[in-house]
Chain A
Amino acid sequence: MFAYAVRSLAQGLLVLVAVAFIAFSMFRFVGDPIANMLGQEATLQDRQELSERLGLNDPWPVQFARFMGNAAQGEFGVSYRQARKVSDLMRERLPATVELAVLSALVATVAGVLLGVYVAINRTGFLSNAIMSISLIGVSLPTFLIGIGLIYIFAVELRWLPSFGRGETVKIGWWSTGLLTESGRKSLIMPVLTLAFFQLTLIMRLVRSEMLEVMRSDFIRFARARGLGERVIELRHALRNTLVPVVTIAGLQLGSVIAFAIVTETVFQWPGLGALFVNAVQFADVPVMAAYLMFVAGVFVITNLIVDLLYFLLDPRLRASGRTAKGH
């Protein structure tokens, strides 16, 4: 198990270096930050001086090596756009994104499983058909349209919910949370639903098809033969067997929910990492872009690692082969 974890970790590090390399070679195509950092009266000489100060005149490999050296120490430099330490910016923005992503994943999983079970059991009901049709919208409509649609209904027309921002937040140490105030909770509703919608429909459809599959298998038939009640069979036997792949998918999706909150954050002016990244791209703010991409890669590596380890615990066959491998 330990060897397995170490191996996964080493692979993870390799992925991080690869991401850094690819990202860094792309930055040259985002544009020149100097043009954004200096006012229109700046002279050619001013531009060259600033370029020199930022180390942008060094050859590419030198810049990359310097970046990796600093990144290894957790130092990502100063944002070109805001003149503040990137690590401070990331720390300020992290809570907003994590709160949004975790709540979305939670909503998507819980609601997805419940609805999935319901439509699997009642395959022909009117409600089931309605749910299945709506879920098609979730799969096919772009996130920003869903977000804007919600804003127009609940913020402009009904005026129940705020259209932008996080509302009032409470600081707990360096972490800021919107869960403890009313305006904070209200502000969370629409972004969470928007971000959760796609995952929700995905999980629901997965649960439904898995469940239908399981319901056809022999042990369900035997359970029926034993005279167990229909509800017990559905929820105790069928659902439990459906959940294994669902948990895997949901776990892996958490990574992508954090990473792809960008669109939702932009629509709702949600002050998270995604919004920070979008602003950074427009300004060609390389230090922030680099740090964000490393962060996203890190999230993926870690969630994958956890899922790998979970497999290891869940599947006895993996454990057995691990032991024999050690013997050789």
Chain B
Amino acid sequence: MKMTVRGLLAVLATTTMLAGIAEARTLKWARSGDSLTLDPHAQNEGPTHTLAHQIYEPLIIRDHTGKQLPALATSWSVTSDPTVWEFKLRTGVKFHDGADFDADDVVFSLERAMQPTSDMKGLLTSIDSVSKVDQHTVRIKTKGPNPLLPNNLGDLFMMDKGWAEKNNATKVQDFKNREENFAVRNANGTGPFSLVSREPDVKTVLKRNDNYWGKAEVPLEVTEVIYTPIKADATRIAALLSGEIDFVQDLPVQDIERLRQDRKLRVNSGPENRTIFFGFNVGDADLKTDNVDGKNPFADKRVRQAMNMALNRTAIQRVVMRGESVPTGVIMPPFVNGWTKELDAAPAVDAAAARKLLADAGYPNGFSTTLHCPNDRYVNDEAICQAAVGMWGAIGVKVNLVSQSKSIHFTLIQKQPPETDFFMLGWGVPTFDSDYVFSFLYHTRAGSRGSWNALRYSNAEIDSKIQTLSSETDIAKRNATIADIWGRLKEEALYIPLHHQTLAYGMKSDLDIPVDVSNQPKLKFVSFKRS
């Protein structure tokens, strides 16, 4: 009975709203995995940030193309001291609980994100201190000049200091004290939506923040968001087809074509900020996983070039990815600073030339080796590896494929020394700058750099060039260094870049949500088509 009354009220409310000015529009949104926590500094991970972006806001936000837009900061610049950045904050912004947003909150949030147990601290290593100048001005002092500091702030969310103190959430979750942090399931941001309820892995409900500072600048037409993770691909698609879900963020590639035929649906696809590639052990004197004694075939550039040439990228794009990928010759998508068409070009497939290169290197009959591949991380990762193995087999390199879960695969790469000689990996560039690629994938493994360089590659000259990038303030000079480093690295053929991953979003046809390059769609930009 109670339900009926409520239902009646809901109908009444909807009809009055329709008659009135604003239309109540719920967006039912699904993707395969849930956010891990609402604590904005506890996990540096895509789905977690995506949900956080609806509730919390950073100082500077990126739109779906990766372009920076002012969010809680209205302007930012380097002061006369090149190691100090100054951020002017937006005035009149309120948190969902009504508290004012000001400089104290920024100082608090950035310091919280730099705590040892924070997962965001890796993006803030260059920061020395954060200080308040006045109520709406903050200065960040870096350890050396850091011309690209704003690039690292796109997913650094601002919390209310008072709220965190009141709820004992000033520290990021550590796993030692065996207690749940208040911020894990509760949230108080400045964002376009506020949290109504959250059941992790089941359902999260958000409602529109009617006091949102930016309501004049963005459509903000969605009044309620119901976010549901649906793990099984078939079920997620069924929910879209049956109309129970309005927006599905990850479409399995095999379903895209079929959904495009459906007139009640719209499919948008576009490049993601992630490149898939293969890497070699080029440093060790001998490999355990090959059949060549006393030598490391991958240490020979000609072998790497041969394997690069043997890889038929367009075949993989067509058959394995069903067209949903962009073949490439470099580990960075086009919107990253440093990208050029020349770097992006992949060598032509030429099995004869590849065989000749192998023969020149002393392997006329090829050799055998082992490739490690994840099977639950990238789009069709295992199938890609299987296809590639066949292509290398055609030039005589017999590759034994080991594909396993990401939890095992990434450990092989991250271990010191790494426990793989030939591996698949994908890389996104959250700072949109080449330095991020160089630092993690090419720099010698030391300190905070080179942690994903499982090549055992170490080149002091390249290392020192990479190091200059983080403090070079002359942009033209810096870009020249970037081009120089890329030129040398491409020549070395240390990795075999394969393709940029493509994302596909499925939605009802009255929606038109463009693919966000970081795969973090911001729902304040969503508008409904009037029919």
Chain A residues within CB distance 8 Å of chain B:
29-44, 46-47, 49-50, 53-54, 75, 77-78, 80-85, 88, 92, 144, 148, 151-152, 155-156, 159, 162-166, 181-182, 266-269, 271, 275-276, 278-279, 282-284
Interface-facing stretch out of B353-361, B404-412, B473-481 = B404-412
B22 CB within 8 Å of chain A: no
Known: A88-B180, A156-B242. A83 touches B37 (CB 8 A): yes
Closest-by-CB residue of B relative to A76 is B178
Known: A53-B175, A80-B175, A155-B242. A165 touches B407 (CB 8 A): no
B285 CB within 8 Å of chain A: no
Q: Of A39, A44, A83, A159, which contacts B173 at CB under 8 A?
A: A83
Proximity string of chain B (231-263) to chain A, C-beta cutoff 8 Å, 1 when within and 0 when not = 110111011011110000000000000000000
Q: Complex formed: what's the CA distance from A40 to B437 in Å? A: 12
A-B contact pairs, 10 of them (CB 8 A): A31-B411, A32-B411, A40-B122, A44-B414, A148-B235, A151-B238, A155-B244, A164-B236, A164-B238, A282-B376
Q: Of B39, B122, B410, which contacts A46 at CB under 8 A?
A: B122
B229 CB within 8 Å of chain A: yes
Task: Please indicate the chain A residues that have their CB under 8 angstroms from the CB of B121 in the complex.
Answer: 46
Task: Please indicate the chain A residues that have their CB under 8 angstroms from the CB of B228 in the complex.
Answer: 164-165, 269
Q: Complex formed: what's the CA distance from A275 to B406 in Å? A: 19
Tell me if A275 and B201 are in contact (CB < 8 A).
yes
Tell me if B37 and A82 are in contact (CB < 8 A).
yes
- Kindly name the residue among B175, B179, B203, B229 whose own CB sees the greatest number of chain A CB atoms within 10 A: B175
* Least CB distance, A112 to chain B, in whole angstroms: 27
B416 CB within 8 Å of chain A: yes
* Least CB distance, B160 to chain A, in whole angstroms: 20
* Least CB distance, B50 to chain A, in whole angstroms: 14
Q: Complex formed: what's the CA distance from A269 to B234 in Å? A: 11
B123 CB within 8 Å of chain A: yes
Tell me if B184 and A39 are in contact (CB < 8 A).
no
Tell me if B242 and A83 are in contact (CB < 8 A).
no
B80 CB within 8 Å of chain A: no
Tell me if A42 and B451 are in contact (CB < 8 A).
yes
B36 CB within 8 Å of chain A: yes
* Least CB distance, A97 to chain B, in whole angstroms: 13
B119 CB within 8 Å of chain A: yes
Closest-by-CB residue of B relative to A176 is B199
Q: Of B117, B202, B238, B244, which contacts A271 at CB under 8 A?
A: B202
Known: A162-B244, A164-B244, A269-B232. A42 touches B39 (CB 8 A): no
Tell me if A152 and B180 are in contact (CB < 8 A).
no
Q: Which residues of B in the span 118-133 have a Cβ within 8 Å of any Cβ on A?
A: 119-123
Closest-by-CB residue of A relative to B431 is A41
Task: Please indicate the chain A residues that have their CB under 8 angstroms from the CB of B185 in the complex.
Answer: 84
Task: Please indicate the chain B residues that have their CB under 8 angstroms from the CB of A279 in the complex.
Answer: 201, 231
Tell me if B175 and A269 are in contact (CB < 8 A).
no
* Least CB distance, B272 to chain A, in whole angstroms: 15
Tell me if A78 and B175 are in contact (CB < 8 A).
yes
Tell me if A268 and B180 are in contact (CB < 8 A).
no
Q: Complex formed: what's the CA distance from A58 to B239 in Å? A: 46
Task: Please indicate the chain A residues that have their CB under 8 angstroms from the CB of B464 in the complex.
Answer: none
Closest-by-CB residue of B relative to A77 is B178
Tell me if A39 and B120 are in contact (CB < 8 A).
yes
Q: Of B44, B238, B407, which contacts A163 at CB under 8 A?
A: B238
Q: Of A53, A77, A78, A266, which contacts B232 at CB under 8 A?
A: A266
Tell me if A47 and B39 are in contact (CB < 8 A).
no
B448 CB within 8 Å of chain A: yes
Closest-by-CB residue of A relative to B120 is A39
* Least CB distance, A179 to chain B, in whole angstroms: 14
Known: A44-B416, A83-B175, A83-B180. A164 touches B44 (CB 8 A): no
Task: Please indicate the chain B residues that have their CB under 8 angstroms from the CB of A78 in the complex.
Answer: 175, 178-180
* Least CB distance, B32 to chain A, in whole angstroms: 10
B200 CB within 8 Å of chain A: yes
Q: Of B173, B175, B232, B407, which contacts A35 at CB under 8 A?
A: B407
Q: Complex formed: what's the CA distance from A8 to B333 in Å? A: 63
